[in-house]
Structure 1
Amino acid sequence: MCKPLHLKNYKILKPITILTVLYSAFMFFKYAASLILVYATPQSPLLPKQLNAYASFPLYFLVAFFGVLSFFSMRSLWTKQYNVKRVYALFGIVFLFCIFQWHIYQCIMRFNPYG
């Protein structure tokens, strides 16, 4: 007989938290490296001086966003206290960002004061 799948089970919550940590940490380091590269690359005299600020504006929000997500997910893994609502909320946020990341980026760019 096959046992039913319980979504509040420890065996389900731990892999979901690990997936959330891996994705959010990967995106954190990806956007942090992009932010560093914006300022580390030599600037051509032909480009406007505010181009670095224009390109780095959304990266500040995304680095902070994924840093917070990574922190909360790692804290759940370290303490081994898997709150069902928190695990699914963090996974849902990561999943929605994965689907709508271009729309989120465009929304942040609308408020870019350097553009």
Structure 2
Amino acid sequence: MQEYAVILNELAQALRPMSWGVTWFEELASEDQFAVLRDLAVSEDDPEVWSYCEGGSSENVPTTTHERFTDWLRGIAAREIPSWRRLTAFYREEQAQHVKDRRLYCYRINPDGTRTEEF
């Protein structure tokens, strides 16, 4: 167990004053501060996440159960990132092809259906 895990535990149980904990943390090197914060962030359990089936029936039940939130997030990213990559590549190609044709049209449609160009 890391030395700072014991200190953090003592602070959480109010065995040491919080002002002492702040001073202790500020005196740590930046790498150690980062390690303490990283361990604090991952020490909490990832909540269980359910991915629900959307539809019109009243019998919608979860199609997949993920053990942790991060597993669910990785699954979503693995499914969505390839689509976004294809979409952004297509968008860039379209933008490159029509650079010269791009114009801003601003006009008013008159009551009789004619258009009055503003510029």
TM-score by length of 2: 0.28
CA radius of gyration, larger in: 2
- More relative contact order in 1 or in 2 (CA 8 Å, sep 6+)? 1
| Structure with greater strand percent | 2
| Structure with greater helix percent | 1
